[in-house]
Structure 1
Amino acid sequence: MVNAIWKKINEGNIEPVYLLTGTERFLMDMTIKRLMKGLPDIDADSVIRIDLEETPIEVVIEEADTLPFLEEKKLIVANNASFLKASDKSKEKVIHNLTLLEKWLDNPSPTAIVVFIAPYEKLDGRKKITKTLQQKAVVVEAIALTGRDLLTWIQQEAGTKDVKISPENAQYLVDMNGDNLLSLSSELTKMAMYMNGEGEITKDTIELLVPRLPEMDVFRLTEAYMTGNVKETIKIYHDLLQNGEEPIMLTSLIAGQIRLMIHVSSLGKKGYQQQQIAKTLNVHPYRVKLIMENRRIPKTERLLLILKKLAHIDYQLKSTGGKRERVLELFFMEPLK
C-alpha cells in the first residue's frame, strides 16, 4: 500500500532499492518527491535520471557504486525498466546484463538510493529478474486508488497542506471532481490556500471552490432520472443550464452515459473486472466503478428504450426554434416506464 510506504519514507526509513510499477504516474512522481525530501542533500537538479531503453543497466550499477560527491547519498531514477515485462528481444535497442543486476541486488550500494520505474500495467512474473527485483526492492504499485484507499490518500494529502478533511467530505470531493489524483491534489492545495493552511475542509468549502466535472454531474443527473427522482433530476438539470451547458450537449452526454452503462453491464456479465472494462472501453476506471456499484440501473432493454427516446429528443432540439431547454425538461418529467 503506497500510503504505508510513504509513511516509512517520511519517518526516515529509506531503503536502498525501490521498484515503482503501474500506470498512475502521479503516484510515482510523489514517491520520488518524498524520497528527495527524505534525503537532505538532494534536490531536483541532483537527481540522476537514466533511461533504460537507451542505456544498459551496467551504467546504473556503476553510478550507484561510485561514491557521491559532496552528498551523503545519491538518488538514481532508472526509467523504463522494460526488461521486466514480456517483450520481443529482437526489437530491444539495449542489451542489459541482468545477471550482474541480480548479483548487485544481493548487496546494493549503501551510498545510493536506486529507483527502478516500470510504467507498465503488468510485469512478466515468469522472468527471474522480475521475481528477484520484487523480492529485493520495496515495491510501489502505482495503480489508481479506489474506495477507502483513495479517501485515506485524500486525508493524508490534506494533512501535508496543514488542513483536515473528514472521510465524508473526502468522498464528496471525489463525487464532485472525480478520482484523478493530480486534479484532487490541485484542488486540495487551492482550498488549503483559501483557508490559510488551517482548519477543516467542509462541504461548503468544496462547493465554493471546486468546479464540478460535467461528467460527474451528468452521472448524477442520469442516476436521478433512472431512479424516478424527478425533483432532483430537474434541480441538477437547471444547475447545469445555469453553468452554461447546452441541452443538445447534455442530451449527447446522457446518451453516452447510458451507452456506457450498457457496455459495462455486458462486459461485467462476461467476467471482466473493473480495470479490464475501463481499458477495453477507454474510459476512466472511476466511471466504471460508479456504474458497477450502482444496483439501481435498469435492465438493458429499458436502457435501449431510453436511448431511442433521447435520439428523438436530439432530433427535436436540432430542428426546433423554440425554447430548447423545455424539450429536455419535459423528457425528464415523463415517468420512466
Structure 2
Amino acid sequence: MDGTSILKDVKRGVVSLIYLFYGQERLLLEEAVTALTQLLTPGGTGDFNYEKFDGKTSTPAQVVNAANMLPVFAEKRLVIVTDAPWFSSEKGEEEGSQKHLYLDPLIEYIGNPSPSTCLVLVAGEKVDGRSKAVKGIKKVGQVVEFTSLRGMDLNKWLDKSLRQRGKKAQSGVFDYLTLAVGNNMSALEQELEKVSLFVGSAEEITMQDVKETASVNSTLNVFNLIDAVSKKDGSAAILQLRELLRTGESDRKIFYLLVRQMRILLQIIPLKKRGVTEAQIASELGLHPYVAKKGVEQSRNFTPQELIQALEILRDVDEKVKTGRGDSLALIEGAIMRMCVKLTDK
C-alpha cells in the first residue's frame, strides 16, 4: 500500500493495528502520522492514550509494554515509534543471536497485537522485506513505503496545499515548479510558501511570480541559452552560458543538456506536422510536461536542417574535447557563436 491510500483509509476511519512507515518522502509520511494522531487521539500529544518513543533510545520491550496498556476512556491507544532502527538489513535478526533476542518481544507482539492499540513504527528510507518482523507486520497490519507523488497526483497535492493558503495557480505553474525543483514534496512546499509570501494579498499565482521566486535547476536555465541561439543572439547566449557556470554547473553538463534539447526539438518538429498535441508529445517522447511545452515553443524558431547543423557543430566539439584538442569551455563558446551565425544560412 502507498502513502496516499493510507490517508484515504484514515479519512474513512479505517485503521490497522500495526503500521510500518518508511521511505524517502518524509512530508507525506508525517501527514499520515498526523492524520492518525488527529483521528485516534483528539487531545493530541497530551492525550492520555498517546505515547511516543524514540527508536534510537528505546527498546522493543518498552514499546511492547506501552502497546499492551489499555486505553483510558477511549477505544484505542496510539503508540508511535520514530527512527525505529529494527527493520533495516543491518539490524536484521538472526536465529540464536543477540539481535534476535533483542527483537523477540516485538516479534511476539506482532504475532498477537493488542486490538485496542494502533502501533505506528516509523523506519528509515528502506526496510528489509526478508526480516521476520516485516513479514509479520504485513500479515496483521500495513507496511507502507512513502515515495514522492508524480504527474497529476503531485499537481493535485500542490493545488490542495496552495488552496490551504488561500491561493490558486495559473495554468502551467505546477509543471514549471516540479521541473525546477523536482518532486521532493518538502522542497515544493517551501517554494509554495515562498511564492505565497511574495504575491502578498493576490489570490492567483502566475508563471512570472514563480519564475521570480523559484530556485531553478540547470535544465530550466538551459532553455534561456537555447532561446538566445534561436534568435541568433550570440552575445546573449554566451551570457546565459556564463550565468549557468556562475551557479556552479559544469561546462560539460551544460553541453550535454544543450545536445539533449536540440535532439528533442528535432523530434518534436515532425510530430507537430502530424498534428500531435503537446500532451501527446510529452507522452510519446517521455518528457516532463513543461519540457514538452517549451520544446514546442522553441521548435517554431528552427528548421530541421538548422537543428541537424547545430548537432553536427556540437558533435565536433565533443570529439575535440575527448581527444584533448582544445579547452572544453572555449570550444563550447565557439560552438555557440558558430551556431548563431551558421544557422542563418538556410
- With normalisation by structure 2, the TM-score equals 0.62
SS of equivalent to 1:82? coil
Give percent identity, aligned residues only.
19
The change in CA–CA distance for 1:249 and 1:20 in structure 2 (over 3 A counts) is: closer
Q: 1:100 aligns with which of 105, 108, 119?
A: 108
Contact 1:55 1:94 in 2 (8 A): no
CA distance in 1, matches of 2:201, 2:15: 28
Q: 1:58 aligns with which of 47, 52, 61?
A: 61
CA distance in 1, matches of 2:232, 2:12: 47
The change in CA–CA distance for 1:328 and 1:248 in structure 2 (over 3 A counts) is: farther
Q: Equivalent residue for 2:19? A: 18
Structure 1 residue 61: deviation in Å?
A: 1.7
Contact 1:17 1:138 in 2 (8 A): yes
SS of equivalent to 1:145? coil
The change in CA–CA distance for 1:99 and 1:241 in structure 2 (over 3 A counts) is: closer
Q: Equivalent residue for 1:31? A: 32
Aligned positions, number: 291
CA distance in 2, matches of 1:95, 1:260: 53
Letter in 2 for 1:33: T
Q: Equivalent residue for 2:274? A: none
Q: Deviations over 1:63-108 (max 9, x none)?
A: 1222467998444124335346474746949721154123333x44
After TM superposition, list the pairs within 5 Å mapping 1:1-337 onto structure 2: 1-10=2-11, 13-38=14-39, 39-43=41-45, 48-51=52-55, 55-67=58-70, 73-83=77-87, 85=89, 87=92, 89=94, 92=99, 95-97=102-104, 98-105=106-113, 107-108=114-115, 110=116, 112-121=117-126, 123-124=128-129, 126-165=130-169, 168-196=172-200, 199-218=203-222, 220=223, 224=226, 230-231=230-231, 237=237, 240=240, 245-246=245-246, 249=249, 251-255=251-255, 257=257, 306-309=317-320, 315=327, 317=329, 327=334, 329-330=336-337, 332-333=339-340
CA distance in 1, matches of 2:80, 2:127: 23
The change in CA–CA distance for 1:221 and 1:199 in structure 2 (over 3 A counts) is: closer
The change in CA–CA distance for 1:9 and 1:254 in structure 2 (over 3 A counts) is: same
SS of equivalent to 2:103? coil
After superposition, the CA RMSD in angstroms is 4.8
- Say which is worse superposed, 244-253 or 205-214, in terms of deviation: 244-253
SS of equivalent to 2:166? coil
CA distance in 1, matches of 2:260, 2:110: 46
Contact 2:23 2:146 in 1 (8 A): yes
Q: Equivalent residue for 1:273? A: none
Contact 1:17 1:115 in 2 (8 A): yes
Structure 1 residue 140: deviation in Å?
A: 2.9
SS of equivalent to 1:143? coil
CA distance in 2, matches of 1:70, 1:240: 66
- With normalisation by structure 1, the TM-score equals 0.64
CA distance in 2, matches of 1:232, 1:119: 51
CA distance in 1, matches of 2:244, 2:238: 10
Q: Which has the larger radius of gyration?
A: 2
SS of equivalent to 2:174? helix
Contact 2:87 2:127 in 1 (8 A): no
CA distance in 1, matches of 2:320, 2:167: 47
CA distance in 2, matches of 1:11, 1:117: 22
